[in-house]
Amino acid sequence: MRTLTRRGALGLGVAGAAAVGLGGCGSLTSSDGSTPSGGSADHRPAGSEPKPRARVIGDGSTSYTGKQPKQPEKPVPLEPGQIPPQFVVFSWDGAGEVGNGLFPRFLDLAEEHGAHMTFFLSGLYLLPESKKRLYDPPNNLRGASDIGYLTDAHIKDTLKNVHRAWLDGHEIGTHFNGHFCAGSGSVGNWTAQQWRSEIDQAKSFVKEWRTNSGWTDLPSLPFDYDKELVGGRTPCLLGQDNLLPVARELGWRYDASSPGGRQVWPTKKQGLWDLPLQQIPFPGRSFEVLSMDYNMLANQSINSTNAPAHNYPAWREQSAQAYISGFKRAYETNRAPFFVGNHFEQWNGGIYMDAVEEALKHIAREQEKGEDVRLVSFRQFVDWLDVQSPEVLDKLRTLDVGQSPAGGWKNL
């Protein structure tokens, strides 16, 4: 039976050594496949509209391609007494594609059900290991990382899936870089200045992957990361207090790093929406569990990602029903938003990925019945929060976990 620490678990599946760098031949391509400059002949059919040309940013790692497609309708304020929508946010820490097909699997699932998600991209997942000394982590050795580096092939796969994710309407946030959770180098000990360094580096690895890799035959990411990045989740949910002042200065709108929350309507902390993972019912147990795959594992196989397989069916069902129970408790009572966090992992035979898929399908069926259930990204959720009146939000916050409004919503 394999044992591990949390930081070890989060690095599983990531190859240790980078493959030989593959320098691409050919011209620099933008996110729509066009060259960033030059005037080729226009072969559009008569009467068709020209496709907007991407504006390459910096070295061509990213580009401005216009407004993000596949976004919800513009949010509107709730009327007094109106039942709020049931928001559900599925989010993914790290968001690296390491050859297990999980990133495209959940992009396909989201597309099938009209769902949007948030992908908290680790900046190091776009930095070749051969260039690891470009990373100078606070209170750690240059080039160090507790989650390892991806192979060149996996970096390319990650770029491909991040590209698709944004065009499919999903949000690209940050999970920062080296995922340090223990010892003197832990992110929990970082100062505000050190968090600023970490953020600047995480952004640079996204904005300069082309320079760092030497690849010129891959399309640009189709977004301006300086504008796209409005929130993140810290490694192991540590260090939020010193992160928040920096995030506020950078114009971020929310943070998802609080170390465990409750299923109630959110408030702001230091000027940012505080959107924590939540305690939810854990079927068959007398305690609740945090709404994340790692916490399911920690309460089932303790410190093993490869426990005896005879446990898997029951654990998979327990995990799926935990998410479904959390959703139902909010949906049937106070309508607090429901937040779920995951990693692209295959712990205990992949049961946690199967569990979250089962939960998403269950929730999507309620939406497909015509119920006001919205599977959104964190960014889309705070778009909605920001247009609500403070008075309405204050009333929603009076509802505790599992509490319906006395006398019904019209009397709230």
User: CB under 8 Å to 217, separation ≥6 — which residues?
Assistant: 24, 25, 26, 29
Q: Which domains does the chain have, with CATH numbers?
A: 89-406 (3.20.20.370)
Spans of the chain below 50 pLDDT: 1-4, 7, 11-49
The structure tokens listed for 59 are 């070295």
Give the CA angle between residues 114, 325, 382 to the nearest 5°: 50
What pLDDT is stored for residue 50 in this prediction? Answer: 52
Q: What is the pTM of this model?
A: 0.89
Distance CA 147, CA 161 (A): 20
Q: What is the 3-state secondary structure (H, E, C) of the chain?
A: CCECCHHHHHCCCCCCCCCCCCCCCCCCCCCCCCCCCCCCCCCCCCCCCCCCCCEEECCCCEEECCCCCCCCCCCCCCCCCCCCCEEEEEEEEECCCCCCCHHHHHHHHHHHHCCCCEEEECHHHHCCHHHHHHCCCCCCCCCCCCCCCCCHHHHHHHHHHHHHHHHCCCEEEECCCCCCCCCCCCHHHCCHHHHHHHHHHHHHHHHCHHHHHCCCCCCCECCCHHHHCCCECCHHHCCHHHHHHHHHHCCCCEECCCCCECCCCCCEECCEEECCCEEEECCCCCCEEECEHHHHHHCCCCCECCCCHHHHHHHHHHHHHHHHHHHHHHHCCCCCCEEEEEECCCHHHHHHHHHHHHHHHHHHHHHHCCCCEEECCHHHHHHHHCCCCHHHHHHHCCCCCCCCCCCCHHHC
What pLDDT is stored for residue 77 in this prediction? Answer: 98
What pLDDT is stored for residue 80 in this prediction? Answer: 86
What pLDDT is stored for residue 283 in this prediction? Answer: 98
